[in-house]
């Protein structure tokens, strides 16, 4: 189903440990196992910085229940430390790719707010294990 509006760009983490190098294919399999039609994120950023397509960008996502109908979902692989606790353990190429992808998405969806999954009201998760709004306001993405 096509998305009619884009009010949010939601940044997630895969909640994987540093030694797990997965991508959109593995997340697609996890989500299908949950009964979904496929990867709920529109984009997945691997540890090496490769940006992979998950769900078609124009489609409604399955990544943040409260805003799926009005958002694009971006997932960084990682987000947990070796002991399984939330940590922004993302590799430098991931940060660079996230910066480029968000800049591109913000150009195409200028009215959309960039938020972390944890910033959505009603979400009780640490995802994506860092403060997206602060990261963006440091001049990396937004003016």
b/e for 113-127, b at 16 or more Cβ within 10 A?
bbbbbbbbeebebbb
Second-level CATH architecture of 8-138: 3-Layer(aba) Sandwich (3.40)
65: number of Cβ within 10 Å: 12
Enzyme catalytic residues: 12, 41, 117, 125, 127
Q: Domain boundaries in the chain?
A: 8-138
Instruction: Please state whether the peptide bond connecting residue 4 to the residue before it is cis, i.e. omega within 30 degrees of 0.
Output: no
Q: How far apart are CA 117 and CA 47, in angstroms?
A: 19
pLDDT digits (tens, 9 = 90+) for 41-90: 999 999 999 999 999 999 999 999 999 999 999 999 999 999 999 999 99
Token duo for residue 53 = 């397509």
CB 87 within 8 A of CB 24: no
CB 131 within 8 A of CB 140: no
Report the candidate in 112, 18, 130, 97 with the shortest Cα–Cα distance to residue 61.
112
- Global pTM value: 0.93
pLDDT digits (tens, 9 = 90+) for 88-140: 999 999 999 999 999 999 999 999 999 999 999 988 889 999 999 999 877 55
Strand order in the sheet with 43-45: 51-53, 43-45, 71-76, 8-13, 113-116
């Amino acid at each position: 189903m096509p998305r009619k509006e884009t009010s949010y760009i939601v940044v997630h983490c895969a909640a994987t440990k540093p030694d797990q190098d997965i991508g959109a294919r593995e997340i697609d399999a996890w989500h299908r196992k949950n009964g979904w039609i496929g990867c709920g994120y529109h984009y997945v950023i691997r540890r090496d910085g490769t940006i992979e397509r998950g769900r078609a960008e124009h489609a409604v996502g399955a990544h943040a229940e409260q805003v799926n109908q009005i958002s694009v979902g971006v997932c960084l692989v990682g987000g947990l430390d070796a002991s399984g606790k939330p940590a922004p353990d993302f590799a430098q190429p991931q940060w660079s790719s996230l910066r480029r992808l968000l800049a591109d998405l913000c150009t195409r969806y200028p009215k959309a707010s960039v938020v972390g999954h944890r910033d959505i009201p009603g979400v009780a998760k640490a995802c994506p294990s860092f403060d997206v709004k602060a990261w963006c306001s440091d001049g990396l993405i937004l003016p």
